[in-house]
Amino acid sequence: MKILIADDEAVSRHLLEKTLTRAGYEVIAVENGVLAAEQLSRPDGPRLALLDWVMPELLGPDVCRHVRQRRDQPYVYMVLLTSKESKQDVVAGLESGADDYLIKPFDPDELKARLRTGLRILQLEDKLVEAREGMRFKATHDPLTSLLNRGVIMDLISKELVRAQREKSSITVLLGDLDHFKQVNDTYGHPIGDEVLRETARRLLASVRSYDLVGRYGGEEFLMVLNSCGAINAFARAEQIREAISKLPVQTARGALPVTMSLGVLPTGESGPRSLEDILAEVDVALYAAKMAGRNCSKLADAKCSV
């Protein structure tokens, strides 16, 4: 665990660094408050800090206030070191954002015990953050494929439509459906069907850019949004995605299974604003046209275009 020591007295700083290095910490030592604030503001900065109250450039309590103003980085456990002993000073130090307060001269064993308390608090905070992120992921992602779930992908499409209209740009909406998927479930069972769905999701994510969107629309249907993609490139991009699904069989517990996908394709922006409901209806019609054309192909909405 990294720990920051901020003390303008070289001898005190050296003794602290020696003690904590022996205790197994990775020590970063600085001599003033500005350098301390800079270190603690780094994304990979220390999450434990020993701050002398009186330092050049920035006092220890001011460093605490600076760190507590951040909202986008992990919690930092800070201990103020000082010779001030009054209750008013203790209150002022803790109200600045410090987690603990140690009066000089202090016992090294007491210091290490207080730091162990800080470590336990940081570990608890990490577990809470992990649990929160896990709950957020479950609320927004499909449990089988880990793609965005239907509600989230539709909400994001609505937002992307508004953004595209505001910026006078275009997005392409794709609705893909695995061909003959019911036969996979009927012949090999639902666990094998689940393997196919998971691998399809992986291939879809691998075939789009990091700022595109992929969600599970329902069953074996997948909804995709290609940002900054207009009519000129829409069909070619759809074909790249279709080929990414069909080029190799899916390896399952029952052997290799060929898998293909039919796609409805709708670039927006050329015909003015449209509601999400209208767009989904149009791209669904295009998907139906792809199915009627023999499957394993792409069809543009409002156009007779196929592979």
Long-range (24+ apart) CB contacts under 8 A made by 229-235 are 229/170, 229/171, 229/172, 229/267, 230/169, 230/170, 230/172, 230/267, 230/269, 230/270, 231/170, 231/267, 231/270, 233/172, 234/172, 234/265, 234/266, 234/267, 234/300, 235/265, 235/298, 235/300, 235/305
Whether the bond between 108 and the residue before it is cis, its omega within 30 degrees of 0, is: no
Distance in angstroms (rounded) separating the CA atoms of residues 106 and 58: 23
Could you confirm whether 270 is annotated as catalytic? no
Catalytic residue from among 17, 31, 199, 220: 220
- By annotation, the residues acting in catalysis are 220
